[in-house]
């Protein structure tokens, strides 16, 4: 289990056709675009990939396409979370068979349960496969259900394949509490901010982030990580302020506006599947104005 994650890792959206079925061809182009523009790893399908709106067979097929397209150029992890845990175990087994380098999973959806239930679930999941496992913490989306430092520490001691965490609280105390429990037990444990909040996370000892805006502005993502990693904090601040504005632009009804932004960058990925809205022409126009004001249109690649 020697996979060490760092930098800005990209989690592609899922391109859809007008009937909301997966657009496999465009998906290949998008995954390839991320690998060519600096992604240090690929991870799919996070919630921005509309994971909940895809059927299990669709997820499996797209997983195979993603792994084939990445073709070992960077590590690829598969997000296996589903409402029913039986589906999760199935997706995890499939990811391993398909050749993924790791899996990633969030705390179970919807139900309220004690921390021990999270422990038991991750032990079951982590021991059901022979792959590195990344835990995913998102208390604000799961009504306060979360990993604490204590729980993370216990899991690290139990699971040799628990190599990192996607941490989406965006909160200094929560992030640091998990980090300082994990690193003494596993020095390469990767604390990965949920989106590009690299300035506060890398300064605290984080390994990098996943990404909301990588399909729009990969150069900015790479530049921000490099500035943080090299300790150029003044430059990092300037870039972080810009990237954070993009997150605020995309956050609401995520990934609807993000997919709208892809149209402007010459990389259309189709609509967003219901119940999420698809960005209207007016919304796309507004996003274009924002991207222009932030200088994105001039500094980032256009087209594939």
Residues at the interface with other proteins (CB under 8 A):
170-173, 175-177, 180, 197, 199-205, 231, 233, 236-237, 240-241, 244-245, 247-248
Shortest approach of other proteins to residue 125 CB, angstroms?
28
Residues 257/278, Cβ–Cβ less than 8 Å:
no
CB-nearer residue toward other proteins: 202 or 258: 202
| Nearest CB to other proteins, comparing residues 203 and 299 | 203
Nearest approach, Cβ of residue 92 and other proteins (Å)? 31
The residue (of 44 and 175) whose beta carbon lies closer to other proteins is: 175
Cα distances (angstroms) measured from residue 145 to each of 155, 171, 288, 296: 16, 15, 36, 36
Question: For 208, phi and psi rounded to 5 degrees?
Answer: 155, -150
Main-chain dihedrals φ then ψ at residue 126, nearest 5 degrees: -65, -30
Tokens, residue 90: 């199935």
Taking alpha carbons only, the member of 55, 57, 49 closest to residue 77 is 49
Give whichever of 103 and 199 is closer to other proteins, judged by the CB atom.
199
Pick the closer one to other proteins by CB: 109 or 176. 176
Shortest distance in whole angstroms from residue 105 CB to other proteins:
24
- In the complex, what is the shortest distance from the CB of residue 231 to other proteins, in angstroms, rounded to a whole number? 7
- Report the nearest approach of other proteins to the CB of residue 245 (Å): 6
CB of 32 to other proteins, least distance (A): 31
Please, which residue, 122 or 197, has the CB nearer to other proteins?
197
User: 65, 26 in Cβ contact below 8 A?
Assistant: no
Cβ-Cβ contacts under 8 Å for 270 (sequence gap 6 or more):
15, 16, 17, 18, 23, 26, 259
Give the Å distances, CA to CA, from 66 to 78, 106, 139, 281: 9, 20, 28, 30
E-state strands within 20-123? 42-44, 76-79, 102-106
């Amino acid at each position: 289990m020697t996979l060490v994650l760092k930098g800005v890792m990209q989690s592609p959206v899922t391109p859809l056709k007008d009937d909301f079925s997966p657009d496999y061809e465009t998906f290949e182009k998008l995954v390839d675009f991320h690998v060519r523009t600096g992604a240090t790893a690929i991870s799919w399908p996070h919630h921005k990939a509309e994971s909940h709106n895809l059927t299990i067979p669709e997820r499996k097929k797209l997983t195979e396409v993603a792994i084939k397209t990445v073709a070992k150029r960077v590590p690829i992890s598969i997000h296996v979370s589903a409402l029913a845990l039986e589906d999760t175990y199935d997706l995890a087994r499939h990811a391993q068979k398909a050749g993924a380098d790791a899996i990633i999973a969030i705390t179970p959806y919807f139900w309220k349960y004690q921390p021990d239930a999270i422990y038991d679930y991750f032990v079951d999941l982590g021991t059901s496969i022979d792959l590195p496992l990344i835990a995913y913490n998102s208390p604000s989306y799961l009504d306060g259900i979360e990993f604490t430092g204590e729980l993370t520490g216990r899991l690290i001691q139990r699971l040799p394949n628990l190599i990192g965490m996607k941490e989406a609280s965006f909160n200094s105390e929560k992030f640091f509490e998990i980090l300082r429990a994990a690193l003494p037990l596993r020095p390469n444990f990767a604390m990965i901010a949920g989106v590009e909040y690299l300035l506060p996370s890398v300064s605290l000892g984080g390994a990098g982030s996943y990404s909301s805006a990588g399909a729009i502005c990969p150069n900015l993502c790479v530049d921000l990580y490099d500035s943080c990693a090299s300790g150029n904090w003044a430059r990092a601040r300037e870039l972080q302020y810009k990237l954070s504005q993009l997150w605020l632009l995309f956050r609401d009804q995520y990934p609807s506006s993000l997919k709208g932004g892809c149209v402007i960058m010459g990389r259309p990925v189709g609509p967003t599947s219901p119940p999420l809205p698809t960005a209207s022409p007016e919304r796309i126009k507004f996003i274009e104005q924002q991207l222009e004001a932030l200088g994105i249109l001039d500094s980032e690649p256009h087209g594939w």
